[in-house]
Structure 1
């Protein structure tokens, strides 16, 4: 039976449409600018990288900002991308956390406009683990990585909002 955990991040001064675009259509470009210390590679292997069924390859900086030193590259498939509901879900396929003890995982990001230019991000992780795994350490590592990723994107978008003329360029 699968377990589920979630956390929320309130993104001040980040409009839902900008955050949605940063997590979907512009994810490769935004991640390179928002978290250069996190990824070494993010590639679209199948599909357009946005739509259902798209397969994405991710490789982290060894001993980088939030990724564990032992985290191998991995593949995830987009299994839900609903622009109306602002819901995005990725299913772990192989490598990465699948090699560290997860037998199944599904990561979902749900965005909600909470007014005054703020967006609430609800991130959920539905998972199954192998037996005899240090559950707390593995979950903490995965959730910290998700928090770092989302936090980096939010900070980058806030910077653009406060300084649209920045060298980083606009969306």
Structure 2
């Protein structure tokens, strides 16, 4: 079973300013600080924020059906402002997913505003089809709003 979900948030800030956060490890720091009701911590396991960087996301007890998962940055395009990551250990993979992929895009509207877009693509074994309900754009939407609030508070 394959699936895709996505969501967008408009940000009244230049795409280049927004990408400074999304295109670096600043994203993990902003999310960790602003999403404490969901995340205990985000650890950099390996890397400097470039392709190949591995993060360990540890959730608050009882918030997710798993304690943590590791994701790896697989592509970062600074010109197109796109960052791809994939779960490589734990989390969704323990729940019957063969693939759980997340793309973050910053789409310029004009020189003073942009759209942040998150897309989740997943592949789930048929015998775990009921776990498709675990896939939700709500978490990425909340994270994009946290980053939006952070950016607007630091640029105004």
1:2 shift after superposition: 4.0
TM-score, structure 2 normalization: 0.86
State the alpha-carbon separation in 2 of the partners of residues 118 and 71 from structure 1: 36
When you count strand as a share of all residues, which structure comes out higher?
Answer: 2
Unaligned runs of 5+ in 2: none
Equivalent in 90, 109, 113 of residue 108 of structure 2: 113
- The equivalences for 1:32-51 within 5 A come to 32-48=32-48, 50-51=49-50
Aligned pair 1:96/2:96, yes or no? Answer: no
Contact 2:66 2:91 in 1 (8 A): yes
Higher RCO, 1 or 2 (CA under 8 Å, sep at least 6)?
2
Contact 1:35 1:153 in 2 (8 A): no
Question: Residues 145 and 127 of structure 1: is their aligned pair in 2 closer, same or farther, counting only changes over 3 Å?
Answer: same
Structure 2 residue aligned with 1:71: 66
> Which 4+ stretches in 1 moved above 6 angstroms?
none
- The equivalences for 1:17-56 within 5 A come to 17-25=16-24, 26-48=26-48, 50-56=49-55
Q: Counterpart of 1:85 in 2: which secondary structure?
A: coil
How much is the aligned-residue C-alpha RMSD, in angstroms? 2.0
State the alpha-carbon separation in 2 of the partners of residues 94 and 33 from structure 1: 23
Offset from partner CA, 1:41-99 (integer Å, 9 cap, x none)? 21111221x21111111112224xxx42x232110110011111100000110111222
TM-score, structure 1 normalization: 0.79
